[in-house]
């Protein structure tokens, strides 16, 4: 694919950004395009939300505050996922232990 076909242009907070992707097939290109558009919309939305709540609406400050908000969301999500994974591991260990006990009692009985 030519370099021009590898660039997707998105608009965030009134500015255009060319995003270059690395893919080999038209399917990968479309998947990349859709993903970049989704990400750009999310960032744009967050920046507009911050701008509406902020008295200082300089693009730089809005971008930093939006990045902090998105990072906060990510870290909360990671912590929740780790907690869920830990809970699942405990349940799996408990089930494996009980299954092992049943197998031992069935083979000796």
Comparing C-alpha atoms, which of 12, 74, 19 is closest to residue 48? 12
Each as own residue / partner, the long-range contacts of residues 70-78 (CB below 8 Å, 24 or more positions apart, any chain) are 70/42, 70/43, 70/46
More confident residue, 97 or 57: 97
- Other beta carbons within 10 Å of 62: 21
| Per-domain residue ranges of the chain | 3-108
Per-residue pLDDT tens over the stretch 77-107: 999 999 999 999 999 999 999 999 999 988 8
Give the pLDDT confidence of 25-38 residue by residue, as tens digits: 999 999 999 999 99
Determine the length of the chain: 109
pLDDT band at 57 (very low <50, low <70, confident <90, very high): confident
The SS3 assignment for 99 reads helix
């Amino acid at each position: 694919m030519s370099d021009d076909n590898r660039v997707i242009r998105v608009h965030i907070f009134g500015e255009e950004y060319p995003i270059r992707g690395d893919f080999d097939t038209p399917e990968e290109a479309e998947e990349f395009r859709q993903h970049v558009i989704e990400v750009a919309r999310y960032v744009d939305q967050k920046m507009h939300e911050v701008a509406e709540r902020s008295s200082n609406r300089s693009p730089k400050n809005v971008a930093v505050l939006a990045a902090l908000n998105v990072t906060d969301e990510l870290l909360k999500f990671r912590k929740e996922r780790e907690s869920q994974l830990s809970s699942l591991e405990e349940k799996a260990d408990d089930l494996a232990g009980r299954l092992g006990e049943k197998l031992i009692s069935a083979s000796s009985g």
